[in-house]
């Protein structure tokens, strides 16, 4: 069974640009979550989607947005990039038949560098 796939692995952008990251969950997983990982702040929750609907959102500005498609694939978009957006962005999927019993399965992340 294929794992969570994130593309691209690495991105370099300049301030003010926008970026779109892609995530394909494990087959059969309908929940997709996004996390930002930085050395200073650790892992921070961005948002979670289930069946094309955003169920939860973390404490990030509106420049961060996402969506989920009918095949459960998800994208996140960051507009007007700032230097502080440089981070590893992790996507995770999970089964949702039992919310509390289902661990997250992570992709290898997209490393975004903003210059």
Partner 1 sequence: AQSVAQPEDQVNVAEGNPLTVKCTYSVSGNPYLFWYVQYPNRGLQFLLKYITGDNLVKGSYGFEAEFNKSQTSFHLKKPSALVSDSALYFCAVRDGQNFVFGPGTRLSVLP
Which residues would be at the binding site for partner 1 (CB under 8 A)? 4, 6, 33, 35, 42-43, 45, 48, 55-56, 58, 90, 92, 99-101, 103-109, 111
Partners of residue 5 on adjacent β-strands: 24
CB of 55 to partner 1, least distance (A): 6
SS3 39: coil
CA 6 distance to own-chain centroid: 9
The residue among 35 and 64 lying less far from partner 1, judged by its C-beta, is 35
Percent helix, strand and coil across the chain, each rounded to 5?
Answer: 5, 50, 45
The residue among 30 and 79 lying less far from partner 1, judged by its C-beta, is 30
The residue among 23 and 114 lying less far from partner 1, judged by its C-beta, is 23
């Amino acid at each position: 069974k294929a794992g969570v796939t994130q593309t691209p692995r690495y991105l370099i952008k300049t301030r003010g640009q926008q970026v779109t990251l892609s995530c394909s969950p494990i087959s059969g997983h309908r929940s997709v979550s996004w996390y930002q990982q930085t050395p200073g702040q650790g892992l921070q929750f961005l948002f979670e989607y289930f069946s094309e609907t955003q169920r939860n959102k973390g404490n990030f500005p509106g420049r961060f947005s996402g969506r989920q498609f009918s095949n459960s694939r998800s994208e996140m978009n960051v507009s007007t990039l700032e230097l502080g957006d440089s981070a590893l962005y992790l996507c995770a999927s999970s089964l949702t038949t039992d919310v509390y019993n289902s661990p997250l399965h992570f992709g290898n992340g997209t490393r975004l560098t903003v210059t």
